Amino acid sequence: MVIWNVVFPSKCEICGKPFVIKDQNLFCSNCLDQIERSFSFFCRSCGVAGENSFPLCDRCKKDRMYDYIHSFTSYSKVSQIIIKFKLSGYKNLSKNIASLIKKDLLDFVKTHNIQTVLYVPISKGTYRKRGFNHLELILREIVPNFLIKDWLAKNRDTKLQVELSKEEREKNLTDAFSLKKEAKFYGQNILVFDDILTTGSTLREIGKLLRTKKVGKIYGYVIAKT
């Protein structure tokens, strides 16, 4: 296989240049290495975008949703990488993405004394087709397993948020999530892990659920803000 890859290298989905396949054959290391920490403007409590919403939108100044939402980068190509990861089936991309955010995510977990990490779930139908939740795979490359809890459920299939308008995104996720019976927080500080933040609809729907429970502080961490 290695000889075959050298003779017939794959072309990077971003730059189009050929490269030798190692863990996956979608993105070359040069393009992945360009992904760095970067800043973007959005409300750090609910995820609504815009300079006027930073650090808190008018609604969250009165009633906060999350204690803080953190974004690793605003690099546009990250969304392309993540969507390919979701749909392509190349599980090893989890290692590439995890290596990019590992230090940043671990620092965030330590700084805010995170005791439970939840990841945005996918529906049962999607899981059967895909065979994995990409967010869980990334997390398990970074965070100790005892912190990661499978306590969120997705009640139905929904369309990809990046394909929808702002209004459609809100309707798309209304009542789409629920908490499993085994979810017990005991006043713990919670981190919700997601991949792409657009309007913040996903985090807000999950935040509504968490606020009905006896939790400590609620944080959000997203890989990319588009």
In Å, what is the CA distance from 139 to each residue of 49, 90, 105, 155? Answer: 25, 16, 9, 22
- Give the pLDDT confidence score for residue 170 in this predicted structure: 66
Burial class (CB in 10 A: 0-12, 13-18, 19+), 193: buried
22, HSE (Cβ side, Cα atoms, 13 Å): 7
Give residue-wise pLDDT tens across range 151-162: 999 998 776 666
Residue span(s) of the chain under CATH 3.40.50 come to 38-225
Q: What is the pLDDT of residue 163?
A: 64
Residue with tokens 């912190």: 147
Q: What is the pTM of this model?
A: 0.89
pLDDT (tens digit per residue) in 126-138:
899 889 999 999 9
Q: What is the pLDDT of residue 42?
A: 96
One DSSP character per residue, 110-131 reads HHTT--EEEE----HHHHHHHS
Q: What is the CATH number of domain 38-225?
A: 3.40.50
Is residue 164's pLDDT more than 80? no
